Amino acid sequence: MTTHTEQDNRIDKVQSLKTAGINPFVHSFNKTHMIDDIRNQYSDISRENPTTDVIQTAARLMAKRGHGKALFGNIKDESGSIQFYCNINQVGQELFTMIESTDIGDIIGLSGVPFMTQRGELSIRIDSFTLLTKSIEPLPEKFHGLQDKETRYRKRYVDLIVNDTVKDVFKSRSTIILNIRNFLTSQSFMEVETPVLQSIYGGAAARPFMTHHNELDQSLYLRIALELPLKRLIVGGYENVFEIGRVFRNEGVSYKHNPEYTLLELYKAYADYTDMMALTETLLSTLVKKQTGGYELTYQDQQLNFTPPFTRMSMVDALKHYANVTQFSQDALLKTCRELDIDCEPNAHVGQLIGLIYDKAVEPKLIQPTFIFDYPWETSPLAKRHRDNPDFAERFELIINGMEIANAFTELNDPIDQFDRFKDQERAREAGDQEAHQMDDDFIHALKYGMPPTGGLGIGIDRIVMLLTNQASIRDVLFFPHMKPRPTQSVTD
């Protein structure tokens, strides 16, 4: 015997409404007030000081309770929630029955007069009502809500309906990105857009996603970084540019990695990595102050202090301090890798070994905002060699709570040196390094026209949002994080 489910009951209601000539999915509604506007505008009314204003709003029905000839309910829109009240003697039997027959989750439009209840709760006394959208799928049970993490990620739309704290995180995300834009434009940076589809990918060490353009019969890649097109714009004469955009990397998924994420990259002519360090420090401390009112915040029970200046430490000093590395020959570094149980090739060069040891033994220990600077030049194919020590590149990363937040260079603008670096990367690809750069002849050609001394900076927006909203996983700051597929379901399932 087939059980008649709550969803079946709601589908029956849809059919009954249509049979009665009532459209359960109307085309539009004149919503004149957001709920938050109602609360602000009528916060000072009382039973002794009422209003006769009639307001009109629309929202989702979240709760309903009947008391004989009276009915109370709660509706919620993007801005907040409010109680409504209707009485059969005031609205009549037909309208009262319509309101009474609604289901939790329905989207309704109503008009009425704001008033204050005996208990001091601002409410709306309904005088008209319209069913705008019939909800067929019941919302999660009120007291337990939507708790399962995987279901919340897969059905973010439900997560947003029932979990206000989740909605607040994404409101904060929007504000944070707006604050970044405002900060950069106040520093005379111009926002630009560059191609997502690229014939040659570059700007980072990552594996790309590949696609195909049918008309041109051309293989294309989803960009893994914003860097090379932006530097072409510096060649073209713009001196301060930035882009906030999606990039795509065909790699693993973790609490701090998603195959598709949002990246900020900016480039400033006549600057170097020390200028980028100062800019990064000012930007981050400004964001924290706007978010918290000060320079400290709590992230996962860890107190973080963003008061400038941040700690600065060279890569060599960091390895000495945190990993007890005192010798930097290939043999000594290979020995350290063995001691730390780090997998590495026996012929790995010094720069690679330094990077492996740093990733395993240093970065996880960096909790407070810390700039690690002067990376091995071999691991930084787009950065200038250090002006005083050619074994290193003028590059830094900002680490917070063991997580890379920013990466910056004094940008390499010597086309001959850049060509040689790309050749090194080609050899690495031939040796099996799938994340090595491709040769980009057009970028080399652009550099031949002359790119001024330039500082460049990349910041992972999602990780910034994680920090500022105290979210443990990148999935909690992405509306639709990447998930393994499930079997396709019918829309009526």
Best CA proximity match to 406, nearest among 452, 364, 455, 457:
457
In tens, the pLDDT along 296-325 reads 999 999 999 999 999 999 999 999 999 999
3-state secondary structure (DSSP) of residue 371: strand
pLDDT reading at 489 higher than 60: no
What mean pLDDT is predicted for residues 280-285?
98
- Confirm if 90 and 127 have CB atoms less than 8 A apart: yes
Residue 4's pLDDT is what? 83
Rounded-to-integer distance, Cα 261 and Cα 224, Å: 10
Best CA proximity match to 132, nearest among 9, 31, 20:
31
Rounded-to-integer distance, Cα 255 and Cα 449, Å: 42
Mention the CATH class of domain 164-310+368-477.
alpha beta
pLDDT reading at 1 higher than 60: no
- Confirm if 17 and 9 have CB atoms less than 8 A apart: no
pTM: 0.92
φ and ψ of 122, to 5 deg: -65, 130
Residue 141's pLDDT is what? 77
Q: CB neighbours of 461 closer than 8 A, spacing ≥ 6?
A: 176, 177, 180, 244, 261, 262, 263, 264
- Which pairs with CB-CB distance under 8 Å and at least 24 residues apart come from 36-40? 36/79, 36/80, 37/79, 38/82, 38/114, 38/122, 38/124, 39/80, 39/82, 39/122
In tens, the pLDDT along 358-385 reads 999 999 999 999 999 999 998 898 999 9
3-state secondary structure (DSSP) of residue 307: coil
φ and ψ of 422, to 5 deg: -60, -35
Domain-by-domain residue ranges, the chain?
Answer: 6-133, 164-310+368-477
Best CA proximity match to 298, nearest among 470, 175, 165, 170:
470
φ and ψ of 99, to 5 deg: -65, -40
Residue 299's pLDDT is what? 96
φ and ψ of 307, to 5 deg: -70, 125
What mean pLDDT is predicted for residues 40-57?
95
In tens, the pLDDT along 207-231 reads 999 999 999 999 999 999 999 999 9
Rounded-to-integer distance, Cα 171 and Cα 192, Å: 24
pLDDT reading at 425 higher than 90: no
Are 6-133 and 164-310+368-477 in the same CATH fold? no
pLDDT band at 492 (very low <50, low <70, confident <90, very high): very low
In tens, the pLDDT along 195-208 reads 999 999 988 888 99
> Parallel, antiparallel, or unpaired for β 55-67 and 70-76?
antiparallel
> Which amino acid belongs to residue 118?
Q
Selected from 2.40.50.140, 2.40.30.170, 3.30.479.10, 1.10.3720.10, the CATH number assigned to the domain covering 6-133 reads: 2.40.50.140
